[in-house]
């Protein structure tokens, strides 16, 4: 029998109050576990009007494996101790987990060496693709640095904000990235104002209202994008998470694979991943290196101080090449 352990990310829920020591552990039957699990989840974890049903209960080592059918049609796998005292959202089978991690590592393409500013390919109008995770402190750092550059170059630059193919900062990151993707798609002229607001204090809903985003179009786009790329269903199924730890976000999967994007932040100029600092002056220099003929805006003097990582515009950070990446 394979050994299993409870993951460090598990959620332990006490179903019947404090665990009491007993001389002889009570073992509940399959039907008793079904009833207890459904009753607890419906009373304590679900919104009014939404209910789950327990589809299947099977023994797995010292635990019961429980398949819970959600009201939206998704199935969630949980585990319970046989006395019904605790449930867990996830366990890891050690040998399977290690094998999966090794396979993922072996299948990953070798990263392409990043170009220097001198090696940036030229174009009449440079195309800049910035890959981040919305809540990665180093992603927000470079976003704060690039905002003055985007304002300086304006319509003389083809810029697109993109996201890595996995998230490291929970479900809120998936939600925020869907919102930013759809705002950029539907109302690109509002993206910079939104980012200025969002990067200040991580208040997405407030910032959407501040820039007067079209909420009906945004919600429709988020729903369509979620359906196309299965963002929330992949989040619910932890067996699909990268290395068993990070949920997928595949909206820009083709591009992350194409450029070998492995972490946040990563910047691509004219199809080439480029090594840059996070300060506005350095970013302007790198992007302007991509012009066949540089516009006069490239001579503007911007701050050479790197922003601080994380949210907020106060203080000065460093240009160290730290990133969020597995």
- Considering the domain architecture, whether residues 252 and 212 belong to the same structural domain is answered as yes
The Cα-based distances of 52 to 60, 77, 83, 142, 174 in angstroms read: 22, 12, 21, 43, 24
Domain that includes residue 212, residue range? 117-325
Neighbours of 196 (CB within 10 A): 17
Whether 110 maps to a domain, the answer reads no
In the predicted structure, residue 74 carries a pLDDT above the cut 70: no
- Considering the domain architecture, whether residues 132 and 58 belong to the same structural domain is answered as no
- Considering the domain architecture, whether residues 274 and 131 belong to the same structural domain is answered as yes
Average pLDDT of span 82-109: 60
Whether 105 maps to a domain, the answer reads no
Whether 144 maps to a domain, the answer reads yes
- Considering the domain architecture, whether residues 41 and 129 belong to the same structural domain is answered as no
Final residue belonging to a domain, choices 97, 126, 143? 97
Final residue belonging to a domain, choices 64, 97, 130? 97
Query: Residue written as tokens 């585990």?
Result: 79
Residue 200 and residue 192 in contact, taking contact as beta carbons nearer than 8 Å? no
Domain count of the chain?
2
Whether 199 maps to a domain, the answer reads yes
**What token pair was written down for 213?**
């985003």
Whether 108 maps to a domain, the answer reads no
Digit-coded pLDDT (tens) for 175-234: 999 999 999 999 999 999 999 999 999 999 999 999 999 999 999 999 999 999 999 999
Torsion of CA 188, 258, 128, 223, to 10 degrees: 10
Average pLDDT, the chain: 85
Q: What is the DSSP letter of 74?
A: -
- Give the pLDDT score at 119: 83
Whether 161 maps to a domain, the answer reads yes
Q: Say what the pTM is.
A: 0.67
- Considering the domain architecture, whether residues 160 and 309 belong to the same structural domain is answered as yes
- Considering the domain architecture, whether residues 149 and 252 belong to the same structural domain is answered as yes
- Considering the domain architecture, whether residues 196 and 61 belong to the same structural domain is answered as no
Residue among 8, 182, 186, 194 at smallest CA distance from 91: 8
- Give the pLDDT score at 68: 83
**Integer Cα distance of 164 and 73 in angstroms:** 28
- Considering the domain architecture, whether residues 90 and 124 belong to the same structural domain is answered as no
Digit-coded pLDDT (tens) for 265-320: 999 999 999 999 999 999 999 999 999 999 999 999 999 999 999 999 988 888 88
Residue 246 and residue 326 in contact, taking contact as beta carbons nearer than 8 Å? yes
Whether 23 maps to a domain, the answer reads yes
**Integer Cα distance of 157 and 45 in angstroms:** 48
- Considering the domain architecture, whether residues 40 and 160 belong to the same structural domain is answered as no
- Considering the domain architecture, whether residues 69 and 214 belong to the same structural domain is answered as no
- Considering the domain architecture, whether residues 71 and 177 belong to the same structural domain is answered as no
Whether 93 maps to a domain, the answer reads yes
- Backbone phi and psi for residue 323, each to the nearest 5 degrees, phi listed first: -150, 165
In the predicted structure, residue 1 carries a pLDDT above the cut 70: no
Q: What is the CATH number of the domain that holds 68?
A: 3.10.450
Q: What is the CATH number of the domain that holds 143?
A: 3.40.30.10
- Considering the domain architecture, whether residues 147 and 83 belong to the same structural domain is answered as no
Final residue belonging to a domain, choices 28, 62, 97? 97
10 pLDDT tier (thresholds 50, 70, 90): very low
**Integer Cα distance of 233 and 254 in angstroms:** 19
């Amino acid at each position: 029998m394979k050994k299993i352990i409870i993951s460090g990310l598990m959620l332990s829920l006490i179903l019947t109050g404090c665990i009491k020591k007993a001389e002889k552990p009570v073992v509940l039957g399959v039907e008793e576990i079904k009833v207890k699990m459904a009753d607890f989840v419906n009373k304590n974890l679900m919104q009014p009007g939404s209910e789950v049903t327990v589809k299947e209960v099977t023994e797995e080592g010292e635990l019961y494996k429980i398949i819970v059918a959600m009201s939206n049609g998704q199935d969630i796998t949980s585990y319970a101790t046989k006395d019904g005292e605790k449930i867990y959202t996830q366990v890891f089978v050690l040998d399977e987990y290690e094998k999966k991690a090794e396979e993922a590592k072996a299948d990953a393409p070798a990263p392409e060496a990043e170009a220097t500013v001198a090696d940036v390919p030229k174009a009449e109008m440079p195309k800049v693709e910035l890959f981040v995770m919305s809540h990665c402190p180093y992603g927000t750092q470079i976003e704060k640095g690039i905002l003055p550059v985007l304002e300086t170059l304006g319509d003389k630059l083809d810029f697109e904000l993109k996201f890595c193919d996995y998230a490291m900062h929970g479900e809120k990151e998936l939600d925020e990235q869907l919102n930013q993707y759809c705002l950029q798609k539907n109302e690109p002229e509002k993206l910079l104002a939104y980012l200025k607001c969002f990067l200040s204090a991580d208040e997405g809903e407030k910032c959407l209202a501040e820039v007067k985003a079209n909420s009906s179009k945004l919600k429709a786009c988020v729903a369509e994008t979620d359906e196309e790329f299965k963002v929330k269903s992949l989040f619910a199924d932890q067996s699909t998470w990268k290395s068993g730890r990070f949920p997928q976000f595949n909206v820009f999967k083709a591009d992350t694979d194409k450029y070998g994007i492995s972490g946040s932040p990563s910047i691509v100029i004219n199809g080439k991943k480029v090594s840059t600092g996070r300060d506005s002056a350095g970013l302007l220099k790198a992007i302007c290196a991509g012009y066949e003929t540089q516009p006069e805006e490239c001579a503007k003097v911007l701050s050479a101080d790197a922003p601080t990582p994380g949210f907020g515009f106060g203080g000065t950070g460093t240009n160290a090449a730290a990133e969020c990446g597995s």
